[in-house]
Chain A
Amino acid sequence: MDMKEKPKVEEKVQGETTVEEKPTLPDTKEGKLVKALIEKAPYAEGEVIRERRIKFTVPVERIHEFLELASEKFEMLMQISVVDWLKEGQFEVTYQLWSVSESVHAFVKVRIPRDDAKLPTVMDIWPVAETYEREAHEFFGIVFEGNPRLGPFILEPREYEKHPLRKDFNTLSYVKTIYGEDFDRYDESKTNYVI
């Protein structure tokens, strides 16, 4: 990822080409928001999805810096959602930001390796991130460095450390170990998926 990102940074430093290079940004408030933010943070890629939806892709090592920049315009952190891309071996963490003043929803995406899932905490920017990070930690096993309360949160003790929303967690077989092989009341078994 870095390899791909680096040349781009240089390109942008060299000249003003990037601003013209992206005529895709429409001349709307979303386009202006993206442009303003990209100018300050040239390492990020930004695009307008549609009205009121914008998207940024940021390399891992600069995510905190970027979010700090973004928090000027985006006052609210709405959610931290995670997608597990099993084949690529990556988690895609999406910070969903909301701009109260502009009514724009921004997705800040960052990809981290699955086996060494670490991110800096953003509690210092949005205090509410504490809860979202605990959730992401509990369900996916992502470690947010600097968050003091990453510990048992929602799940029961026997589920803790199992990270049940990871794609390689087999729910059905786990349920079978807990409730026995056949947990149906009636004499047939509805435990297989599409019969």
Chain B
Amino acid sequence: MESVEKPRVRVVGEEKVKLKKSFVKPWMGIKYLFKKPVTIKIPYEKIEPAPKYRGFHTLDWKKCIGCNFCGQICPARAIEMTWIEVDGKVEKRPHPKVDYGRCTFCQFCVDVCPTGALGHVENYYLTTAGLEEDLQLYDWVPIDPKKVRELNEKFNDYRFPVERIKFNKETKEVTYYLRDGTEFKFKILGYGLKPPAAAKPKPAAKPAEKPAEKKEEPKSKEKKE
């Protein structure tokens, strides 16, 4: 065992790091009494988040191909594919719905998205009360990046771009009340990768009748899985 050579380690002498105790030195801290305190007065001053600060998601609905790569990579399983109907037209592919109750803001989903549909903005403020309808805000299908940027330019306070989300359990109708007062409406037909029964007869889109039958089927399917 003696044949093993010792690694050479540089050791700093103890006399260099050991300080002498002093009665006076603690009082030197008093000098900060007369300096400008290092604080940011948050309601009056602002901090700019770093560019590409990992905040809320944006989704380009035109680009998303519903591949569920984002749902597979999500470490918190915060992403659920959602079948959507906008203006009476069923989207061909499911879109991811992000649940901010689970999301860890790692943005793995943004990196993995093959089409670049999923992105993120620097917005990070989201506070609600504990009521059930307020909490709905934490569960959304991200909206178009352009809209979010536009809102950012208008308000520039890095808050969640949606003020209130109304989810009608009967008709499965979702309304986003955006911060500039506009509303954004669509319908959620079902969840998961398989298209819900309601979304199947796509070519013969009859938006008027669908909502009524829709609500039961996807729900029951969900439970089975």
Q: How far is the CA of A29 from the CA of B5 in the complex (A)?
A: 7
Q: 8 Å CB contacts to A: which residues of B10-36?
A: none
Tell me if B55 is interfacial: C-beta within 8 Å of chain A: no
Q: Across the interface, which residues of B come within 8 angstroms of A189, CB to CB?
A: 222-223, 225
Q: Does A4 contact B (CB under 8 A)?
A: no
A-binding residues in B (CB < 8 A): 1, 3-7, 68, 71-72, 77-78, 80-82, 97, 99, 101-102, 135-136, 139, 167, 169, 191-193, 219, 222-223, 225
Q: Are A188 and B191 in contact (CB under 8 A)?
A: yes
Q: Are A190 and B5 in contact (CB under 8 A)?
A: no
The answer on a CB contact under 8 Å between B99 and A190 is: yes
Task: Determine which of B139, B192, B223 lies in contact with A186 in the assembled complex, contact meaning CB atoms within 8 Å.
Answer: B139
Which residues in A have some Cβ–Cβ distance to B below 8 Å? 29, 32-33, 36, 72-73, 101-103, 184-190, 192-195
Inter-subunit contact A190/B222 (CB<8 Å): no
B132 to chain A, nearest CB (A): 9
Is the beta-carbon distance between A185 and B1 smaller than 8 angstroms? no
Provide the bound-state CA to CA distance between A33 and B169, in Å.
69
Known: A185-B135, A186-B99, A186-B139. A195 touches B4 (CB 8 A): no
Complex CA–CA separation, A79 to B101 (angstroms): 34
Closest chain-B Cβ to A77's Cβ sits at a distance in Å of: 19
> Quick check: B225 and A192 within 8 Å, CB to CB?
yes
Is B1 a contact partner of A194 (Cβ separation < 8 A)? Answer: no
Whether the Cβ atoms of A187 and B169 lie closer than 8 Å is yes
- Taken together as a complex, chains A and B put the C-alpha atoms of A101 and B9 apart, in Å, by 10
Instruction: Specify which of B1, B82, B135, B192 lies most central, judged by the most chain A CB atoms within 10 Å of its CB.
Output: B1
A22 nearest CB across to chain B (Å): 16
- Pull 22 A–B residue pairs with CB atoms less than 8 Å apart, ordered by A: A29-B7, A32-B3, A32-B4, A33-B1, A33-B4, A72-B1, A102-B4, A184-B99, A187-B169, A188-B82, A188-B191, A188-B222, A189-B223, A189-B225, A190-B99, A190-B102, A193-B77, A194-B72, A195-B71, A195-B80, A195-B81, A195-B192
Across the A-B interface, give the 5 residue pairs with the lowest CB-CB distance, nearest first: A188-B191, A36-B1, A186-B139, A32-B4, A194-B72
Q: Is the CB of A73 within 8 A of B99?
A: no
A43 to B71, alpha carbons, bound, how many Å?
50
Which of A103, A187, A190, A194 meets B7, CB within 8 Å? Answer: A103
Residue in B6, B78, B169 whose CB lies within 8 Å of A101: B6
Please indicate the chain B residues that have their CB under 8 angstroms from the CB of A185 in the complex: 101, 135, 139
